[in-house]
Amino acid sequence: MSKTANPQRQLDTMLREAVTMQQNGAYAEAEDMYREILALRPKHFDAIQLLGALSLQAGRLDEGIELLKKAVAINGMQAPLHSNLAYAYNAQRRFTEGLASANRALTLQPKFVDALNNRGNALAGLDRATDALASFEQALALQPALAQAWNNRACVLRDLGRPADALASCDQAIALQPGYADAWSNRANALSDLNRPDDAQASYQRAIEFAPALADAWNNLGLTLVDLNRHDEALASYERALALDASFAEAHWNHALCLLQMGRLEEGWREYEWRWQRHRIQASQRRFAQPVWLGDFPLDGKTILLHAEQGLGDTLQFCRYAALVAAKGAKVVLEVPAELMRLLAALDGVSVLIEQGQPLPDFDCHTPLLSLPLAFRTELAGIPAATPYLHADPAASQHWAARLDEALPAAPSAIKVGLVWAGGSRPHVAELRKNDARRSIALEMLKPVLDVPRARFYSLQKGPAARQLSEQADLAARITDYTDEFADFADTAAFVDNLDLVITVDTAVAHLAGAMDKPVWILNRLDTCWRWLLERTDSPWYPSARLFRQPMLGDWDSVIAAVRDALAARAA
């Protein structure tokens, strides 16, 4: 017998034993055996790639990726290796690399179902939902019983705004694998999109029964409890998610929003800083060599950059802090979107106003606008609510006063009311699309309000929803529309300055009117944005605001009826 045969036989026997252990769930023992093999033969292909797969299974992604890359260097013609790499890269949100690895697997084995599934997940991560859907459907055409592909397909159907189809896809996954906790959780997500919070709650609880440590289900259950107006329970649900995963940014974010909604501002602002860890917001975080100021060092004699973030309404609400920052002895540089440049040109406390995208002057420190309440430790009783802090240009305002008098000389006693019925549409982000749909109404829902006598109505609606006016001749006859002449928010402010009242859904115009101290009635959804708090009809941010709230999720009829009655009383 040759001396070389025994070591090879020994390695083959060890490999068989390790594979058997792995198949029987003895993962630690299998791992030890693979490592023994590699100690004897460091380039043993099967031991490297099987240990790599085992590392991925144990959640040690970096280690698994390194092992699989070593295996590829030895033999790059094995499709499963590239597919496993795609899985690992996707788990690390390295979707471009995940897609490249999945495509390599499919080049070697075009009908490889696992690679098609991983390719779909990579495409979904790259916001290519339509391509991802096609990849999952290719996988399912080849293997209709692949529950994971049905579940993943549901996720991209939600991204595509097809929640009913997503629900059906989850049901297919659950029919194949009744204890599939992720599919139950995604089923609940689809039900939430369909405004069925009671059904969503039941599905989240099924997910949690099957997987009590599924932090994602606890987090999303919290969102549904908010939809059910059960905020204390929602807080507890977010806290369960965070007990399972202390670095879960989405749960911290939702926890923050719930605390702020409930008026627990001091805790809420601290948690709100987790927004920068969210995958959707992370890329927009400004990274400067200069430190962030959060109220933790003196500003006297320093130049500070305050920079806008998120939406236009957020900028209009929190630019009020510029004056407070200046009062600490700082020279304030404020950077804002182009649409707000003219409006904010005279904002108190600002030394230099910069349009986003333009070169910045030198500065010593910086703060994102929505971190300023944390820097000033703002609590409910101390909200800086002195208004107006935004003003229309006097000449532009006088121009519109003359125009409106000229157009309606015979009706001087009618009150002038501005209307906004829809917020901006952000269809590329599922979370924002859902909020936009919930905060907006169709123009025709305002018909009862438009019937109020002694009121003249003016459109302040911009964007795609403005087309509803031209599509409905009977409503267009009751609403005067000059919005084609509004180039930016300074133009809108000049027009609003001549109105008696603004009636709007939760959008930037609500903040504009509030900041100008113009009476503003806000039509508000039940799952309210945190800034409007809970149950109140007033706003500590804007003394001139009045809130008309949904009593139940989706119940706009009650809101419209209350607004109609209030307007009739005011017009009379």
CA atoms within 13 A on the CB side of 314: 15
Q: Are 378 and 401 contained in the same domain? A: no
DSSP track, 97-147: HHHHHHHHHHHHSTT-HHHHHHHHHHHHHTT-HHHHHHHHHHHHHH-TT-H
Q: Are 347 and 471 contained in the same domain? A: no
Domain boundary among 382, 402, 434: 382
Residue 349: inside a domain: yes
Helix axis angle for 181-193 and 147-159, nearest 10°, is 20
- What is the per-residue pLDDT for 10? 75
b/e code 260-289 from CB counts within 10 Å (16+ = b): bbbebbeebbebbbbbbebeeeeeeeeeee
Residue 273: inside a domain: no
Q: Are 376 and 403 contained in the same domain? A: no
Name residue 304's beta-bridge partners: 332, 365
Q: Are 145 and 35 contained in the same domain? A: yes
pLDDT tens, the chain, 572 aa long: 344 456 777 777 777 777 777 777 777 777 777 777 767 777 767 777 777 787 777 778 877 787 788 877 888 888 989 999 999 999 989 999 999 999 999 999 999 999 999 999 999 999 999 999 999 999 999 999 999 999 999 999 999 999 999 999 999 999 999 999 999 999 999 999 999 999 999 999 999 999 999 999 999 999 999 999 999 999 999 999 999 999 999 999 999 999 999 999 999 999 999 999 998 888 888 999 999 999 999 999 999 999 999 889 999 999 999 999 999 999 999 999 999 999 999 999 999 999 999 999 999 999 999 999 999 999 999 999 999 999 999 999 999 999 998 887 656 679 999 999 998 766 666 677 788 889 999 999 999 999 999 999 999 999 999 999 999 888 889 999 999 999 999 999 999 999 999 999 999 999 999 999 999 999 999 999 999 999 999 999 999 999 999 999 899 999 999 999 999 999 98
Query: What is the rounded distance in angstroms from the CA atom of residue 83 to the CA atom of residue 207?
Result: 28
Q: Are 360 and 409 contained in the same domain? A: no
- What is the per-residue pLDDT for 428? 60
Contact between 350 and 321 under an 8 Å Cβ cutoff? The reply is: no
Q: Are 401 and 360 contained in the same domain? A: no
Residue 259: inside a domain: no
- What is the per-residue pLDDT for 71? 78
Where do we find the tokens 């969102």?
223
Residue 486: inside a domain: yes
Q: Are 308 and 447 contained in the same domain? A: no
Q: Are 166 and 314 contained in the same domain? A: no
CA distances from 523 to 18, 254, 400, 467, 510 (A): 64, 23, 26, 20, 10
Q: Which domain holds residue 375?
A: 303-382
Q: Are 109 and 201 contained in the same domain? A: yes
Q: Are 363 and 407 contained in the same domain? A: no
Query: What is the rounded distance in angstroms from the CA atom of residue 499 to the CA atom of residue 489?
Result: 15
Closest CA to 380 of 263, 274, 291, 486: 263
Counted domains in the chain: 3
What digits encode the pLDDT tens for the residues 13-56? 777 777 777 777 777 777 777 777 767 777 767 777 777 787 77
- What is the per-residue pLDDT for 14? 74
List the structure tokens of 214.
């599924």
- What is the per-residue pLDDT for 55? 78
- 3-class secondary-structure state, position 159: helix
Domain boundary among 360, 382, 404: 382
Q: Are 172 and 193 contained in the same domain? A: yes
Q: For the chain, how far is it from start to end, CA to CA, in angstroms?
A: 110
Residue 247: inside a domain: yes
Closest CA to 292 of 311, 307, 281: 307
Domain boundary among 354, 382, 410: 382
What digits encode the pLDDT tens for the residues 99-137? 999 999 999 999 999 999 999 999 999 999 999 999 999
HEC secondary structure over 307-333: ECCCCHHHHHHHCCHHHHHHCCCCEEE
Residue 540: inside a domain: yes
Q: Are 400 and 378 contained in the same domain? A: no
pTM of the model: 0.89
Residue 266: inside a domain: no
Report the CATH number that the domain containing residue 549 is assigned in CATH.
3.40.50.2000
Residue 544: inside a domain: yes
Query: What is the rounded distance in angstroms from the CA atom of residue 505 to the CA atom of residue 502?
Result: 10
- What is the per-residue pLDDT for 3? 43
